[in-house]
Amino acid sequence: MKTFAEFGLEPKVLQAITELGFEESTPIQDKSIPVALTGRDLIGQAQTGTGKTAAFGIPLINKIPTSEDRIVALIMTPTRELAIQVADEIGKLTRYKGLRSLPIYGGQEIGRQIRALKKKPQIIIGTPGRLLDHINRKTIRLEDVQTVVLDEADEMLDMGFMEDIQSILKMVPEERQTMLFSATMPANIQKLAQQFLKDPEHVSVIPKQVTAPSIEQSYIEVHERQKFEALSRLLDMESPELAIIFGRTKRRVDELSEALQKRGYSADGLHGDLSQNQRDNVMRKFRDGSIDVLVATDVAARGLDVSGVTHVINFDLPQDPESYVHRIGRTGRAGKEGTAWSFVTPREIDHLHFIERITRQRMNRKPLPSIAEAIEGKQRVTAERLLEIVQNEEFSEFKAIAIQLLEQYDSVHLLAAAMKLITGEKKNVDIELTPEEPLRAKKRRPDIRSNGRPFNRSGSGSSYGGNRGGSGGGGYRGRDDRRGSYSGGGSSRGGYENRGSGSYENRGGSGGGYKRSSEGRSDTRRPKSPSEDFANN
């Protein structure tokens, strides 16, 4: 890995990077920053949590002159929360350079955005719907834009933003640099790339598995009606620092977060039907730790970076392997460890294996946590809290009473009673959730080995289309075959580039591949469109 000083960046940008605490570049930064600095178009793919934001943010910021007072850079994201977060990171990176950046997203009062736009930001980070709104009102002009970034490009397509993106990019001069970034690059991205990118360089840092290696992945087979009990035992057993629980629908998220609150967990829900104020509040509480469980639809699956998320739980399995990859990628970020659990109903086992095959990562099968394990987990947390106080806090005002009590009672008895008090009783409330239909495995099983179309890797320097691989090779090999990791084990060539054909991101095309067209989807899939979970972007 390189130090950032080796990229020849402006001192003020370097200073901001140092302040963020980044010592070395991550593999995707290593590969894409030099390419992006030349002004070339770029398609960047790397696992979740490996610093793609800075990979496009740093070169973008580096090239904007401080004297600039027009909008010269545009970053698009699929969700509002992600726009806010990316704007925040860009803000930190421009701190010493003194550029102005502004998030523009649906749900926020437009007048407020118009006032902020009068301060002449050079960088806009927005969701497509609201951006178009401003373009139509002529409160945003894109005729001077020189750099466009589509973060989570595949998700924007999946959400039906293709037309919006087309309309937006028509307003941007053709002489520009365009970059696409995501951890997953399904085949439909080619259409977007062909239309909007010029001879892009493919920068891919993906080892055999597209999921981040630092995430331990397990599943529990449960019946639909056992799920809530399983969840509460799992939370007790594991005692996450922060956890994100994904549910399939908004109703599910509402019911689940309410149920968790009733049982005494500090939880709240996030989905697209909440007002933006509510959404902001929930995210703020989760980021500052005033709640420790975030229950969410896939609106939270992409890009969100909250430090301290130790656990991701798929209360309901996601429909798409991509979604699985992104959901679990909310943990195990920036080289940290993470744990992902998925609940699978007996009828969904095939679907789980399908996800395993596509992601080339086997999940460990685990039994339903027992009541004893749940209790043990809670006791462990109590003991930790107690020791924390013993070691780090002042409690001398309690000593007199402690001595008095010890004269009358046995110390083990006393301590056990105190622990019982701290742990608290589990609130015994009956919980009933509306059952969700099981997901069904695809009718036509895609065989990822027979449809190999390797990406051109970084350095080969050409676009999609050429370089088609044959079939065979590169099949699923199980979890012991991990190669290459974020924390830098193994060289990037050996680790990331020598996959056989048939890799995850190259499905699609004709025959047998994992398709994203509607015919390929199970009919239980809920439509995902801007009007659904991501309303009013």
Interacting residues with Mg ion (CB under 5 A)? 52, 303
Q: Tell which one of 27, 44, 49, 338 touches ligand ATP (CB under 6 A).
A: 49
Nearer to ligand ATP, 19 or 384 (CB): 19
Residues in contact with ligand ATP, shown as a per-residue x/- string from 471 to 510 under the rule CB under 6 A: ----------------------------------------
Q: Token digits for 87? A: 């704007």
287 sits in which H/E element: helix 276-287
The count of residues interacting with ligand ATP (CB under 6 A) is 19
Closest residue to bound Mg ion by CB = 303
Query: CB 373 → ligand ATP: shortest distance, Å?
Result: 31
What CA–CA distance (Å, rounded) separates 52 from 82?
A: 13
CB of 54 to ligand ATP, least distance (A): 5
CB of 1 to ligand ATP, least distance (A): 8
The contact pattern for ligand ATP, residues 159-188, with x = CB under 6 A and - = no contact, is ------------------------x-----
- Decide which of Mg ion, ligand ATP, none touches 334; Cβ closer than 5 to 8 Å per partner kind: ligand ATP
Contact flag: residue 303 with ligand ATP (CB under 6 A):
yes
CA angle 471, 321, 208 (to 5 degrees): 50
What does the DSSP 8-state code read for residue 501?
A: S
Map tokens 């970076």 to a residue: 305
Give the nearest distance from C-beta 70 to ligand ATP in angstroms.
26
> Chain centroid to CA 159: how far?
16
3-state SS class at 212: coil
Q: Shortest gap between Cβ of 183 and ligand ATP (angstroms)?
A: 4
Under rule CB under 6 A, residue 310 binds ligand ATP: no
The Cα 512–Cα 524 span in angstroms is: 21
- Give the side-chain half-sphere CA count within 13 A for 131: 30
Contact between 173 and 468 under an 8 Å Cβ cutoff? The reply is no
Residue 502 near which of Mg ion, ligand ATP, none (CB within 5-8 Å, type-dependent): none
The answer to whether 51 contacts ligand ATP (rule: CB under 6 A) is yes
Q: How far is the CB of 152 from Mg ion (least distance, A)?
A: 7
Query: What span, in angstroms and rounded, lies between the C-alpha atoms of 29 and 147?
Result: 17
**Residue closer to ligand ATP (CB basis): 55 or 132:** 55
Q: Which is nearer to ligand ATP, 19 or 69 (CB)?
A: 19
Among 116, 117, 162, 334, binds ligand ATP (CB under 6 A): 334
Of 250 and 302, nearer to ligand ATP (C-beta) is 302
Query: Which span (52-60, 112-120, 441-449, 529-537) binds ligand ATP, by CB under 6 A?
Result: 52-60
Helix and strand numbers (H, E) in the chain are 18, 14
Contacts of 446 (CB under 8 A, 6+ apart): 354, 358, 507, 512, 513, 514, 515
Report which of 445, 440, 441 is spatially closest to residue 514, judged by C-alpha positions: 445
CB of 489 to ligand ATP, least distance (A): 16
Q: How far is the CB of 450 from ligand ATP (least distance, A)?
A: 28
Establish if 52 lies at the interface with ligand ATP (CB under 6 A): yes
Partner whose binding site includes residue 305, from Mg ion, ligand ATP, none (CB under 5 to 8 Å by kind): ligand ATP
Q: CB 227 → ligand ATP: shortest distance, Å?
A: 26
What type of residue sits at position 174?
E
Which residues are CB-neighbours of 158 under 8 A, at least 6 positions away?
A: 188, 322, 516, 528
Q: Does 257 bind ligand ATP (CB under 6 A)?
A: no
Q: Is 319 in the site for ligand ATP (CB under 6 A)?
A: no
Residue number, 7 or 228, with CB nearest to ligand ATP: 7
Choices 8-16, 20-28, 114-122, 461-469; region in contact with ligand ATP by CB under 6 A = 20-28
Evaluate whether 169 touches 196 at the Cβ level (below 8 Å): yes
Per CB under 6 A, 25 contacts ligand ATP: yes
- Rounded CA Rg of the chain: 24
Q: Considering the rule CB under 6 A, would residue 31 count as an interface residue with ligand ATP? A: no
Strands of the 42-46 sheet, one edge to the other: 101-104, 123-126, 73-76, 147-151, 177-182, 42-46, 201-205
Three-state SS string over 398-458 comes to HHHHHHHHHHHCCHHHHHHHHHHHHHCCCCCCCCCCCCCCCCCCCCCCCCCCCCCCCCCCC
Distance CA 142, CA 173 (A): 8
Q: Name which of 231 and 328 has its Cβ closer to ligand ATP.
A: 328
What is each CA distance from 480 to 167, 364, 505, in whole angstroms?
A: 46, 12, 21
21 exposed, middle or buried (CB, 10 Å; 0-12, 13-18, 19+)? exposed
Q: Which does 147 bind (CB under 5 to 8 A by kind): Mg ion, ligand ATP, none?
A: none
* Residue from 45, 48, 204, 458 in contact with ligand ATP (CB under 6 A): 48
Give the shortest CB-127-to-ligand ATP separation in angstroms: 15
Give the CA-trace dihedral at 296, 297, 303, 309, to 10 degrees.
Answer: 30
Nearer to ligand ATP, 123 or 230 (CB): 123
**In terms of CB distance, is 329 or 474 closer to Mg ion?**
329
> Given the rule CB under 6 A, which residues bind ligand ATP?
22, 24-26, 29, 46, 48-54, 183, 303, 305, 329, 333-334
